Amino acid sequence: MSRDTIFATPQPQVKDFAFDGNTAEVFDDMLHRSVPMYGQIQTMVVALAAAFVRDSGVVYDLGCSTGTTLIALASALEGRNARLVGIDSSQPMLDRAAEKAQGLPIEWLPLHIDEQINLAPCDVAILTLTLQFIRPLQRQTLLRRLYESITPGGCLILVEKVLTDDPAFARLFIDLYHDYKAAQGYSHLEIAQKREALENVLVPYRAAENIEMLRRSGFAEVETFFRWFNFAGFVAKKVR
């Protein structure tokens, strides 16, 4: 796993964050050092997905990046003959995923994840730290399309960076998050430059807004399964 040093050097003008080849090369390290409890989140997402996948069922991971979730899920679903499909708009990410998943029955599709995406019927759709990169005006339509693709009894798993209502808590949670990243070896320069790079690219919602979007999309049962200050995970079940 290559170490993330993308923002270690001072940049005269910080460019918007991009899921390019340089990012793909260090993305696994970036996630483990930038997302609190990332390993635990992956374990929970895989366990939830496995609980909803039927024999010969279908799972889509939208914004699959380097394929970590589906690789773990392939092991958890061994013997169920499930179809696992990873979708991402970044070819370098998919190339890295395919390299990591050699020999595993996983499909990798280079598609943009927006309101125009059409999926075959599936048991589970996964959006791990993905929806926050979709333009806000497209999110509700995308979630509705996913709801329509999920079979009754199936679920959508959503993990997002989230905002808080209270300004004091918002500042505290950001400070605690920066402390976490510093403890993982990121310098103040790296933290500041990455935050600037993400400013116009990653647009988080409040936890309640994400839950409301899921309910408006048709999901009758929505539960929070993970929360760490400004990160949250939700599972939404399609009842009928």
Q: Look up residue 131 and give its two tokens.
A: 């929806």
Please, are residues 33 and 185 in contact by the beta-carbon 8 Å criterion?
A: yes
pLDDT for res 21: 97
Reduced to 3 states (helix: H, G, I; strand: E, B; else coil), residue 84 is: strand
Q: Which CATH architecture has domain 21-237?
A: 3-Layer(aba) Sandwich (3.40)
pLDDT tier for residue 118 given thresholds of 50, 70 and 90: confident
| Domains of the chain, residue spans | 21-237
Q: Look up residue 83 and give its two tokens.
A: 């179809």
Structure confidence by residue, pLDDT tens digits, 32-42: 999 999 999 99
Beta strands in the chain (DSSP E): 58-62, 83-88, 106-110, 122-128, 150-163, 205-206, 221-228, 231-237
| CA 147 vs CA 33, 57, 67, 138, 197: distances in Å | 32, 16, 23, 14, 32
Interatomic CA distance for residues 60 and 4, integer angstroms: 27
Secondary structure letter of residue 65 according to DSSP: T
pLDDT for res 195: 97
Interatomic CA distance for residues 118 and 96, integer angstroms: 24
pLDDT for res 111: 94
Interatomic CA distance for residues 6 and 2, integer angstroms: 11
The strand pair at 205-206 and 150-163 is best described as parallel
Interatomic CA distance for residues 146 and 140, integer angstroms: 10
pLDDT for res 117: 83
pLDDT for res 125: 98
Contacts of 111 (CB under 8 A, 6+ apart): 87, 88, 89, 117
pLDDT for res 33: 98
Please, are residues 107 and 136 in contact by the beta-carbon 8 Å criterion?
A: no
In this structure, of 76-80, 111-115, 135-139, 220-224, the range with the lowest mean pLDDT score is 111-115
Structure confidence by residue, pLDDT tens digits, 9-33: 999 999 999 999 999 999 999 999 9
As a whole-number percent, the residues of the chain with pLDDT over 70 amount to 100
In the predicted structure, residue 77 carries a pLDDT above the cut 90: yes
pLDDT for res 116: 76
pLDDT for res 115: 64
Structure confidence by residue, pLDDT tens digits, 196-221: 999 999 999 999 999 999 999 999 99
Q: What is the pTM of this model?
A: 0.97
As a whole-number percent, the residues of the chain with pLDDT over 90 amount to 97
